[in-house]
Amino acid sequence: MIFMMAKNKKMKKKPAQSVSDSKIEVKIEGKKSPKQKGFSAAATAVTVLIIIAVFYVLTSTTEIKIVEMENYTIIETYAEEVPYTITEEYQERVPYGLPYCGKTGMNFTATEPKVSFAGSGTVVCSFNLTNLEIKGGTWEYQAYIPGNVGNRYDKHNVGPNETATFNFYFDSSVTSPFSCVVSPVSLPSIERCYWPEETFYKYVTKTRNVTKYKNVTMEKPVTVLSETASVKTVNRFFGYEMPSLGW
């Protein structure tokens, strides 16, 4: 009876799936050889090193010092002594009355006469005279040489504090010994005034110009050389300016 029931029971079947409706995924995995693995790792390492090197080259910096020179003008002040003239009064002791005046000989100096050969069969007797006065005068002298016939004359007008040379020429054939005698023919004079010792004196006020000096502030342009130093950060390899990275 059980058997019959089993036969009579309707069986439910699942619908069949076609091959086209199903999805078939096939995954094929292949294995790499050790040689291929080593080449790939080396290439990766070289690539990383190149990237690091390029990054370092492009970002590496250094500092350079830049010095700039510039000329500019400033006005400088300084003190300078400037002369100026003033008229001042002073006291002078002067004598009473009129002085006594008279002419006296002018002061001068003269060297010893010397005889020397002058050429062409002649000798010359000469000496120098210097006028010591504040005005000029005329001196005239004569000279002779023993054994030589006749005197020789020379005259000079000599200015204040000047020197003149007197020359007297003789025939050398009769000069023995070589010596000459000089004497004045005329001497200049000068008027001098003086007061007797018993003269009385008084003080009078006189004026005179005096040069003095004072400090005056002056100005002058002066050229100054200025030096300015600065630091610039540049690429270590290519020199272009860039911000400091401290590398």
Coil, helix or strand for 154?
A: strand
135 within a domain of the structure (yes/no)? yes
160 within a domain of the structure (yes/no)? yes
State which residues form the domain around 136.
100-190
Q: What are 3-57's pLDDT values in tens digits?
A: 434 444 444 445 444 444 444 444 445 555 666 666 777 888 888 888 887 777 7
| Count of domains forming the chain | 1
Give the predicted TM-score (pTM) of the model.
0.42
Q: What are 46-82's pLDDT values in tens digits?
A: 888 888 877 777 777 787 788 888 888 889 898 999 9
CATH number for the domain that contains residue 141 = 2.60.40.10
pLDDT at 10: 45
pLDDT at 166: 97
Phi, psi of 36, deg, nearest 5: -65, -40
Q: Do 211 and 87 meet the contact criterion of CB atoms below 8 Å apart?
A: no
173 within a domain of the structure (yes/no)? yes
32 within a domain of the structure (yes/no)? no
148 within a domain of the structure (yes/no)? yes
198 within a domain of the structure (yes/no)? no
pLDDT at 18: 45
140 within a domain of the structure (yes/no)? yes
197 within a domain of the structure (yes/no)? no
Q: What are 104-142's pLDDT values in tens digits?
A: 999 999 999 998 888 777 889 999 999 999 999 999 999
Burial of 44 from C-beta contacts in 10 A (0-12 / 13-18 / 19+)? exposed
